[in-house]
Amino acid sequence: MLASKLDKKKYKNICLIDSNKKIGSKIKVSGGAKCNITNELVTFKNYLGDRDFVKEILSKYSKDDLLNFLNSNGVFPKINPKIVKGTYFCNSSSEVIDMFLKLTTHVKKYLDTKVLDIKFDNTYKIKTTQNIIESKKVVIASGGLSYPVLGATSIAFDIALSFGHTIEKLEPALVGFTVQKDQFWFKNLSGVTTFVNTFVDDKKFEGSFLFAHKGCSGPVILTSSLYWKKGKVAIDFLPKNNMEDYFKSNKKISSALPFAKRFTEEFLKSIDLEDKSISSLKKEEKEKLAILKYYEFSPAGNFGYTKAEVTKGGINTDEINHETFESLNQKDLYFIGECLNITGELGGFNFQIAFAQANICAKGLNKL
């Protein structure tokens, strides 16, 4: 994206270094290989980090700007709200990668090449597994620690630290939760999904909840994980219904409630409640059952970087020029993307902010 926007006459010698054998490896797997590229409802409120900075970025490069750019290059994403409201998906991730390949034919590509270190002495000396590349300007857009199978490493943070930058605490995000003993019943339901509301850090999210062999996952949990620090997460398993409506039924609990029977059976075991006629329940039994509307649990942790879609935390954005993304500590060194302390929710928000940063950075370089 950045290389495709740089002035070709001004920047005749541009190179791209990628540790993967092909460009766009993370794009390839995004959105179930459909690339969830932006969101109709994107605002600064969908991000963790410096929201004033996010607001600046989105005001300079909106989702409409991104869609226009894609359309002008033959890519036509469409809204598919099945996973997250407002999400734009492409026909396939491959069409986005092919677009970039066409736009960067003028760029020298060092693929299957890892950056080992960067030193500055009048110019930048980039030490790689292949050779040493000398450059006047360097843009670091190497992501975070998530998805190491796709080549993710700490290199962006290592370089930032070597030039005196501050790194805000790094953690896996958009990731499933592991559970404590009281929620081990989740594991018995691995593969079962249900629509819920979640509540975390004064925020409310809705979406599909997936019971997993390690705990829980699904779109609503992934987004909740972005804001979870420590403490409790609450789930409304009946977001569209009131418990009082069910208490009038003469049916057994497992027949009256709108869940897969497996779910109801495991839940009832977890609260030590017999599966009997709801209308026969005593007050204290009704109170037990009513926690379906606000089921609180404290995650034991999360599935880690190997399963996380993004890394939250990163380079302190107070140390970055908001107009160009140049380091305020080091001239001609730029940082964009996931390595910065800006992280979006699930649903195309991280691609949107990455495209926006790249566009702004490229404009700043073109003005020099």
Mind listing the pLDDT tens digit for each residue in 335-348?
A: 999 999 999 999 99
| Pick from 55-64, 146-155, 156-165: least confident | 146-155
pLDDT of 7 reads: 66
Q: Does domain 2-172+308-367 have CATH number 3.50.50.60?
A: yes
Residues of the chain with CATH 3.50.50.60: 2-172+308-367
* Dist CA 112 CA 151 (whole Å): 10
With a pLDDT cut of 70, the percent of the chain lying above it is 97
Burial of 225 (0-12, 13-18, 19+ CB in 10 A): buried
pLDDT of 1 reads: 67
State the pLDDT confidence band at 326, using cuts at 50, 70 and 90: very high
pLDDT of 87 reads: 97
With a pLDDT cut of 90, the percent of the chain lying above it is 85
pLDDT of 151 reads: 85
pLDDT of 182 reads: 95
State the pLDDT confidence band at 183, using cuts at 50, 70 and 90: very high
- Residue 149 predicted with pLDDT over 80: yes
| Pick from 127-131, 228-232, 241-245: least confident | 241-245
pLDDT of 9 reads: 64
* Dist CA 36 CA 18 (whole Å): 22
* Dist CA 86 CA 80 (whole Å): 7
* Residue (of 247, 243, 175) closest to 212 by Cα position: 175
CA angle 217-153-150, nearest 5°?
A: 60
* Residue (of 197, 204, 240, 242) closest to 218 by Cα position: 197
Q: What is the mean pLDDT of residues 98-115?
A: 95
Q: What is the mean pLDDT of residues 300-315?
A: 96
| Structure confidence by residue, pLDDT tens digits, 9-19 | 666 789 999 99
Burial of 122 (0-12, 13-18, 19+ CB in 10 A): exposed
**Dihedral class, residue 33 (left if φ above 0, else alpha if ψ from -120 to 50, else beta):** left
What does the DSSP assignment read for 58-86? HHHS-HHHHHHHHHHTT---EE-TTSSTT
State the pLDDT confidence band at 245, using cuts at 50, 70 and 90: confident
pLDDT of 11 reads: 66
State the pLDDT confidence band at 8, using cuts at 50, 70 and 90: low
- Residue 5 predicted with pLDDT over 80: no
Element (H, E) at 128: strand 123-128
| Residue-averaged pLDDT of the chain | 94
Tokens of 150: 């796709």
Q: What does DSSP assign to residue 252? A: B
| C-alpha pair distances (Å), 366 with each of 7, 190, 327, 346, 357 | 6, 52, 17, 32, 14
The residue that leads in pLDDT, 218 or 150, is 218
Burial of 298 (0-12, 13-18, 19+ CB in 10 A): middle
